[in-house]
């Protein structure tokens, strides 16, 4: 091997080493966007388009290196459509894990229908990703509600019940973005149109659905319970829903007492007319549909029978008889 060939090889080795250092430094250096950003990745969008968008929003510093690593690791062809939120420090490999949703997703969290915001925060905190307090604080932060364009006192009601997979180091905003995205997908155009026909805002629908979710045990009764609330609203009667009286009491369980029904909170529908100022839990699709399409009845009252079902009445006299019968 002559001197010239050895020189060429040496130059190539140096260039390779520099390229390796460049990529290694890129992969290990976290980047934080100047403010929380959303990215809606559409089906079929190319990895290069995504890389450029990430760079323009301040999520990655070197789009060419990012796409090169994505191609080399095989993740460039595994992106999934959806709404993503980026906030705080993320190394490029973390960004890839979030976007391409590969095998690195570790934490499975199931949110049952009817869970409150506080229960959602507790379920997520059990994974060790983030503290319960951080999620609750963010959910009540006006900036969070503004970010997601939610017209309610908190994110309560908009954290859709489902099973989720979360990556390490995700922020409260990123976690809630997954749930809000599912909620918006579940709240269909048909539902939006029905809400308009009823003269209700989306928040009012979810608030009513959350009350139905908390009141109903037997799924088939949801439309009947909805009819009671709709009938009472039309007549200007207080809704007198027991779960609204104890909303906000963390860890509440057991029977609701007469003293509970007198608690003076904005949510207590025994003390205030109309719907509460916001949802009291996170309802599922069946409860949302029941809120929008109630059964046609003349019912104004219902009382629990003690077996998971309710007795429905159209008059106070019949209701009082039902109470006497089922309290024996």
CA 95/CA 91 separation, integer angstroms: 7
Any residues with CB less than 8 A from the CB of 110 and at least 6 apart, and which? 123, 162, 163, 164
Round the average pLDDT of the chain to a whole number and report it.
85
Torsion of CA 77, 80, 86, 91, to 10 degrees: -30
Tens-place pLDDT, residues 6-62: 544 554 444 444 444 445 555 566 677 777 877 777 777 888 888 888 888 888 877
Tens-place pLDDT, residues 74-127: 777 777 667 777 877 777 777 877 776 533 346 789 999 999 999 999 999 998
φ/ψ of residue 110, rounded to 5: -105, 125
- Write the CATH number of the domain with boundaries 32-104: 3.30.1490.480
CB atoms within 10 A of CB 222: 25
Query: How many residues appear in the chain?
Result: 328
If we measure between CA atoms, which residue out of 103, 91, 93, 88 comes closest to residue 72? 93
CB 195 within 8 A of CB 201: yes
Q: 12, exposed or middle or buried, with CB in 10 Å at 0-12, 13-18, 19+?
A: exposed
CA 240/CA 276 separation, integer angstroms: 11
pLDDT number for residue 3: 56
Judging by DSSP bridges, how do beta strands 163-166 and 107-110 pair with one another? antiparallel
Query: Which residues on adjacent β-strands are paired with residue 303?
Result: 311
**What band does 323 get if pLDDT is binned at 50, 70 and 90?**
confident
- Block residue for tokens 């009764």: 221
pLDDT number for residue 242: 93
pLDDT number for residue 94: 78
CA 157/CA 112 separation, integer angstroms: 12
CA 312/CA 319 separation, integer angstroms: 7
pLDDT number for residue 17: 42
CB 158 within 8 A of CB 210: no
Residue 64: pLDDT over 70 = yes
Q: What percent of the chain has pLDDT over 70?
A: 85
**Which segments of the chain belong to CATH 3.30.1490.480?**
32-104
pLDDT number for residue 62: 77
CB atoms within 10 A of CB 241: 25
Q: Kindly state the tokens that stand for 82.
A: 């959806």
Q: Kindly state the tokens that stand for 293.
A: 């399409």
CA 123/CA 214 separation, integer angstroms: 19
Tens-place pLDDT, residues 235-262: 999 999 999 999 987 666 667 778 888 8
């Amino acid at each position: 091997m002559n001197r010239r060939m050895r020189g060429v090889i040496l130059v190539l080795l140096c260039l390779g080493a520099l390229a390796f250092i460049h990529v290694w430094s890129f992969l290990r250096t976290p980047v934080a966007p100047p403010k929380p950003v959303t990215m809606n990745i559409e089906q079929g969008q190319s990895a290069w388009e995504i890389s450029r968008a990430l760079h323009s929003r301040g999520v990655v510093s070197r789009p060419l290196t990012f796409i090169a690593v994505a191609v080399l690791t095989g993740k460039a062809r595994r992106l999934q459509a959806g709404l993503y939120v980026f906030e705080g420090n993320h190394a490029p490999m973390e960004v890839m894990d979030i976007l391409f949703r590969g095998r690195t997703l570790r934490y499975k969290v199931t949110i049952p229908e009817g869970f409150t915001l506080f229960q959602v925060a507790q379920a997520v905190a059990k994974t060790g990703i983030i503290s319960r307090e951080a999620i609750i604080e963010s959910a009540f932060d006006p900036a969070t509600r503004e970010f997601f364009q939610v017209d309610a006192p908190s994110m309560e009601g908009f954290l859709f019940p489902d099973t989720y997979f979360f990556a390490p180091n995700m922020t409260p905003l990123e976690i809630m973005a997954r749930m809000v995205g599912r909620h918006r997908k579940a709240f269909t155009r048909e539902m939006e149109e029905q809400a308009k026909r009823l003269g209700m805002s989306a928040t009012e629908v979810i608030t009513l659905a959350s009350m139905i979710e908390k009141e109903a045990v037997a799924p088939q009764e949801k439309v009947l319970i909805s009819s009671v609330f709709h009938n009472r609203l039309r007549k200007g009667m207080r809704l007198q829903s027991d779960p609204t009286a104890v909303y906000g009491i963390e860890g509440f369980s057991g029977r609701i007492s007469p003293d509970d029904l007198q608690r003076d909170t904005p949510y207590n529908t025994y003390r205030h007319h109309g719907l509460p100022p916001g949802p009291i839990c996170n309802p599922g699709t069946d409860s949302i549909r029941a809120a929008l399409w109630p059964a046609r009845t003349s019912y104004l009252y219902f009382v629990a029978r003690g077996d998971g079902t309710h007795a429905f009445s159209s008059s106070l006299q019949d209701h009082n008889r039902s109470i006497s019968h089922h309290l024996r």
